[in-house]
Amino acid sequence: MIAATQSNHPLATVSDPVPAVSAMNEARARIRLAGLRITKPRLAIIDALLRRHGPSSTEHIHQEMGARRCDMVTVYRCLAAFEQLGMVRRSYLHNGTCLYELTLGAAARHYHIVCKACGSPERVDYLPVKGIEQLLQDRGYTEVSHVVEFFGICPKCQPATARGVSVTVPADLRA
Amino acid sequence: MIAATQSNHPLATVSDPVPAVSAMNEARARIRLAGLRITKPRLAIIDALLRRHGPSSTEHIHQEMGARRCDMVTVYRCLAAFEQLGMVRRSYLHNGTCLYELTLGAAARHYHIVCKACGSPERVDYLPVKGIEQLLQDRGYTEVSHVVEFFGICPKCQPATARGVSVTVPADLRA
DNA sequence: CGGTAAATTCCAAGTCTTGCATGATTATCA
DNA sequence: TGATAATCATGCAAGACTTGGAATTTACCG
């Protein structure tokens, strides 16, 4: 699929949930447990995600890999694999682009509101979806999952968009 | 954006909300009211959506336009415009592809559960999201909207996927 | 250390998005 | 009502992102 047109969006760095070392060990364990192999690109991708502490674009991950950089195709495939393992969760941007976020530790499910102007995500703690999933299982569905995304114009971007000014993003925040 | 890789998914035809004629008139009025122009491609797209009575893929819409067919680019642009007017709502499939659905008349907001195997959507009536949107507005966000999608394996597809059989879709249901 | 199978890479195709020039629609005016 | 001008919409071409396949490389097990 062509997942979405990509504009690069700056990302807000959010709070730190788990010490990086144990998180990395947990990641290795989960990969191994699933019968997958621990490879340099995979470790580098997890490392990049850990350093960001929040949703990252594929591009950002790729750049963040530095010397251990691998093919873009590998990034996509690894993230897809991680997602199936439940190690990574996707957020969808308003334009269809995706961001990826590690879900290690006992991190509770949370959602994001993404600014339609600058693309920065912010956490939304909110949970009343579990009941619906149960209801759907009662309907006969299995492997039930869901996607919830909120979109809006964040306070910072409001004067700008109101004046019709295009919001430009500092280059160092991109990807 | 590259919205998503596209696999074509069959679509369930759902119930009929509004008489087609008045719906078409309402659509024309809303386009005109927004200061946009009424063109042949736009009318053909709305017509295709009306005939489907449910979420449609861009491909399906394009094929359904028949003699009045226009460029695919136009379909994308028109749907994007309609979405901004609130005349059309997007559903996201599990693979990132989108389906578009008309929201005319007094049609209440509803959601979908999409089968990860065969792609057919089914309605989910469910509403407790309004409170969150209010909360986000109190946080300073404007133009708040949201996306909610549920995914799972529908009852019909379960024996098939359990046996590892790939689910093939009749050609006449495609696009 | 060698063998097996998975993972990565490169190449290619497919889909969606954006820029620019052309064509169509709407409003204005006679 | 009919013609003209302004502006929006469309079509085409180019560009970007994502996915699939085949061959090579790498990780893991004995």
Are B6 and B59 a contacting pair, CB within 8 Å? yes
Residue B170 pLDDT > 50, yes or no? no
User: Which of B70, B71, B74, B92 lies closest to B82 in space, CA to CA?
Assistant: B74
Give the closest of A92, A98, A136 to B113, CB-based: A136
Residue A171 pLDDT > 60, yes or no? no
Measured to protein CB atoms, the chain D nucleotides within 7 Å are 8-13, 15-21, 26-28
pLDDT of residue B3: 38
The CA distance from A108 to the nearest CA of chain B, in Å, is 18
pLDDT of residue B18: 56
Other C-beta atoms closer than 10 Å to the C-beta of A45 total 28
Who has greater pLDDT, A118 or A29?
A: A29
pLDDT of residue A9: 35
Q: Is the CB of residue A25 less than 8 Å away from at least one CB of chain B?
A: no
With CA of A37 and C1' of each nucleotide, the nearest comes out as D27
- Cβ-Cβ contacts under 8 Å, A4 against chain B: 1-4, 96
- Residue listed under structure tokens 């047109």: A5
Task: Provide, in whole angstroms, the distance separating residue A71's CA from nucleotide C10's C1'.
Answer: 9
Cβ separation A148–B151 shorter than 8 A: no
Residue B22 pLDDT > 50, yes or no? yes
Q: Is the Cβ atom of A66 within 7 Å of strand C at any atom?
A: no
pLDDT of residue B15: 47
pLDDT of residue B49: 94
pLDDT band at A40 (very low <50, low <70, confident <90, very high): very high
User: Which of B88, B85, B33 lies closest to B58 in space, CA to CA?
Assistant: B88
pLDDT, chain A, mean: 77
With CA of A44 and C1' of each nucleotide, the nearest comes out as C8
pLDDT of residue A95: 67
Residue B37 pLDDT > 60, yes or no? yes
Give the model confidence (pLDDT) of A104-144 as tens digits: 876 667 888 888 777 778 888 766 777 788 888 998 998 88
pLDDT of residue A126: 67
Rounded CA separation A128/A103 (Å):
19
- Cβ-Cβ contacts under 8 Å, B96 against chain A: 1-4, 92, 96, 98
Residue B68 pLDDT > 70, yes or no? yes
**In angstroms, how far apart are the furthest CA atoms of chain A?**
54
DSSP labels, B99-143:
EEEE--TTPPP-EEEEETTT--EEEE---TTHHHHHHHHHTT-EE
pLDDT of residue B106: 59
pLDDT of residue B11: 36
pLDDT of residue A6: 35
- Give the residue-averaged pLDDT of B97-109: 79
Domains and CATH numbers, chain B: 13-103 (1.10.10.10), 108-166 (3.30.1490.190)
Give the model confidence (pLDDT) of B5-16 as tens digits: 333 333 334 444
Q: Is the CB of residue B8 less than 8 Å away from at least one CB of chain A?
A: no
pLDDT of residue A24: 93
Residue A13 pLDDT > 80, yes or no? no
Who has greater pLDDT, B128 or A10?
A: B128
Give the model confidence (pLDDT) of B130-148 as tens digits: 778 888 899 999 888 888 8
- Cβ-Cβ contacts under 8 Å, A138 against chain B: none
Are A3 and B3 a contacting pair, CB within 8 Å? yes
With CA of A41 and C1' of each nucleotide, the nearest comes out as C8
Residue B4 pLDDT > 60, yes or no? no
Long-range Cβ pairs for the range A103-109 (8 Å, 24+): A104/A17, A104/A18, A104/A23, A104/A26, A104/A27, A105/A17, A105/A18, A105/A22, A105/A23, A105/A26, A107/A17, A107/A18
With CA of A32 and C1' of each nucleotide, the nearest comes out as D28
- Cβ-Cβ contacts under 8 Å, A5 against chain B: 1-3
Mutation site for B-interface testing, chosen from A59, A141, A151 by largest number of B Cβ within 10 Å: A141
Residue B174 pLDDT > 70, yes or no? no
Residue A84 pLDDT > 60, yes or no? yes
pLDDT band at B69 (very low <50, low <70, confident <90, very high): very high
Who has greater pLDDT, B55 or A36?
A: A36
- Give the residue-averaged pLDDT of B100-110: 78
